[in-house]
A and B are shown apart, each in its own frame.
Chain A
C-alpha cells in the first residue's frame, strides 16, 4: 500500500523552521481524561480538594505522561506518520490547569544525518500558557531521507536514538 498521509522529508527541514502553533482550551475533562488514559490515578489529577489542600496548587493539573502524549501529537502532526521519535526530554516548570489555553510552539534546532544514514531533526518545543512557559520538550525525531526511506524499519545498529 502507498501511504497517502503527509510525509515530511528530512531534506525539506532546516534549522530555524517553525512548527505551526497548536492552541487548545484545557478543561477539567482534558485533565481527567488525560490522567485516566495514562492510567495515572493520583488524586491531584482528578480531585481539586486534594490538589489545592495537599499539593498547594490552584486546581487539578495535566499529568506528565499526558503532556508527553500532547508533545508527541504535536510533533507527528508536523512530520506525518513516517516521523519516528527517538528521544524526548521534558522539563516541567509550571502546571497547566483547567481554564488555561495552552499553546505548543516548536522550532527546529538541529538537522543531521547519522553514520547509519538516518535523518534526524531536533525540535525545541515549549508548552505555554499566556506567554509563560510551563513545560519544555527537546525532541529528536527521525524523518525519511527520501521517498523510499522509512525510519520505522530501522532496528539494532541502524537505530541510534
Chain B
C-alpha cells in the first residue's frame, strides 16, 4: 500500500506546535444566532437570556461552533493572500503535491463553555501522515491534525482532531 516515503521535512513537523494565533474578533452573538438559524436550532439556551442566566450564568455559544471563531476573514486590509484556516492542512497539500483534499473524520472534546466577548487562541499540531493510499477519490495520504483552543483566561475550551485525505484525482 505504501509507495512513497514521507519527506524528512514533513516528518520533522510531527508533534510540533505551529501557527499559534488569536482569533480575529471576539465571540459574538450574531454568529451564534445565524448558526442556530441555519440548522433551525431552537434550544432556548441560545435564544432566551433568562434560560442562559439560569443554566450557564449568561449566554454561551453552541459548543460545536468552536472552530467558527478561527476562520479568518476572506479579505482583510493589508493581507497579501487569502488566509487559510487549518493552515497545516493546506501546507501538507502544497508540500506533498496533492491538489485536492477532504476531511474524513473530526473529533472535538469540549471543556470550558465559550461566551460572547471571549477572545480565543489556538495552535495546530500535526500528529501523523500515512503512506500513499488509493481510495475511490484518488491517490494520496491521510493525516491527523490536532487543534487546541483556549480562552483569554487560559482555560482549555476544546481540543479538535481532524483527519484529512489529500489526493490527486484518478485519471478517468
Given A1-B50, A69-B38, A64:B106 Cβ within 8 A:
yes
17 additional A-B residue pairs with CB within 8 Å, beyond A89-B106, A161-B110: A1-B51, A1-B54, A33-B37, A39-B31, A40-B71, A65-B67, A65-B68, A66-B38, A69-B62, A72-B62, A73-B41, A77-B41, A85-B63, A85-B64, A89-B105, A90-B105, A91-B105
**CB-CB contacts of A63-103 with B at 8 A, as 1s and 0s?**
01110111111001100011011111111100000000000
- Tell me the minimal C-beta distance from A60 to chain B in angstroms: 14
B106: which A residues are within 8 A, CB to CB? 64, 68, 89-90, 92
Residues of chain B with a CB closer than 8 A to A91's CB: 104-105
Interface of B, helix, strand, loop or mixed by DSSP: mixed
For A21, list chain B residues within 8 Å (CB): none
Chain B residue, CB-CB nearest to A5: B44
- For B107, the chain A residues whose CB sits under 8 A away are 87-90
| CB under 8 Å from chain A, chain B span 118-149 | 137
Q: Which 10 residue pairs of A and B lie closest in terms of their CB atoms, listed nearest first?
A: A39-B71, A73-B41, A68-B64, A81-B45, A37-B38, A89-B107, A37-B35, A72-B64, A1-B54, A37-B34
A interface majority secondary structure: mixed
Q: Please report the C-alpha to C-alpha distance between residue A59 and residue B72 in the assembled complex, in whole angstroms.
A: 25
Interface residues of B in 13-51 (CB under 8 A from A): 31, 34-45, 50-51
- Highest count of chain A CB atoms <10 Å: which of B38, B42, B100: B38
Contacts of A150 in B (CB 8 A): 55
Chain A residues proximal to chain B, CB less than 8 Å: 1-3, 5, 24, 30, 33-34, 36-41, 54-56, 64-66, 68-73, 76-77, 81-82, 84-92, 150, 152, 155, 159, 161
Taking A37-B38, A65-B68, A69-B38 as contacts, is the C-beta distance between A81 and B110 under 8 angstroms?
A: no
- Known A-B contacts A38-B68, A88-B64; the reply to A66 vs B105 at CB < 8 A is no
Q: How far is the CA of A30 from the CA of B71 in the complex (A)?
A: 20
